Amino acid sequence: MPGERADDRMVLRIGGADREGFLHGLVTRDLAAPGAGLVYSALLTPQGKYLFDFFLLNRGEDILLDVKADAAPRLAQRLMMYKLRADVTIEDSGLPVVRGLGAAPDGAFADPRDPSLGWRGYGIEGSAPVIDWDAIRVAACVPETGVELIPEDSFILEAGFDRLSGVDHRKGCYVGQEVTARMKHKTELRKGLVTVEVAGKAPVGTPIMVGERPAGTLYTQAGGKGIAYLRFDRAKGELTAGDAKVTWKGN
C-alpha cells in the first residue's frame, strides 16, 4: 500500500551546534542517536501539563521535528523562548510527511507509538489520504493533538504516554519532569484515556454521565468504539454520552 500525505503536519528543522543538548533539556524523551529511528516526545509546561507532542528524527547534521501544522508556529516560538544564547536554529524544512501501513519504504520509520499505526516518512512521495486513521488510533487508544490531547490541561501519563513510548522516566531533567515523576512513582492514576464501546453517536467533547453524575468525556469515535477520558472511580454501571450508550470493560 502506498503512503499517504499527512497535509495537517509540518516538519521543523532544528540545527546548530547545541541542538541535541538543547532539546534533551526540554522534552520528555531522550533523543535517539543518528539512524536509530523515530522518537515520540512532548513538551510540557513547568507544571507538568501537555503543550505539544511531536516526532523527532536525528539525522546527524540536524534534527527533524514532525508536529501538527497549526501548532508549529507556537511550538517554534516556545522553543525560541528557551533558546537564550544556545547555538540553535529553527526553520520550516519544507518536507512533506507521508505515512502508511504495511512494509515501510526506504527512508521511512516505524511509528513508535503503536505497531498498528504503520510508518512515517519525510520527503518521500505520497498519495491523497484514504486510510481511516481515526479508526486505527481509537482501537489502539492513541490520542490526537488538539482532540484528546488538550494544551495546558492534559497530563501525559493520563493520556497513556508510558504505553506510547512518549516519556522516559530514566532520563535527566526536562520541563515538567518533577510533576510527571511524582505522578509516576507516588500516586495511582485515577483518571485517564481508555477505549470504550459506543452505541450511537455523540459530538466530540460530550460529557459521559452516570445518571446525573459526570464521569468523563467522550472524544473521537469510529467503528462503534471511542476514546474516552474517564474518572475510573465514577465510571461504573450504565454510562451515557448525550443519546449514545457507552460501555467500558474496566467498570
Q: pLDDT-derived band of residue 171, with 50, 70 and 90 as boundaries?
A: confident
Question: Could you tell me whether strands 119-122 and 89-92 are parallel, antiparallel, or unpaired per DSSP bridges?
Answer: unpaired
Encode 212-229 in three state secondary structure: CEEEEEEEEEECCEEEEE
What percentage of residues in the chain have a pLDDT greater than 70? 99
pTM, to two decimals? 0.95
Q: Residue 39: which of 174, 180, 161 has the closest Cα? A: 161
Task: Find the helix or strand (DSSP H, E) in which 94 lies.
Answer: none
Closest CA to 55 of 166, 134, 140: 166
Per domain, the residue ranges of the chain are: 4-131, 190-247
Domain 4-131: assigned CATH number: 3.30.1360.120
Sole residue written with cell 474518572: 231
Q: How many angstroms separate the CA atoms of 4 and 69, rounded?
A: 16
Amino acid identity at 152: E
Whether pLDDT at 141 is above 90: yes
Residues 196-236 pLDDT 10s: 999 999 999 999 999 999 999 999 999 999 999 999 999 98
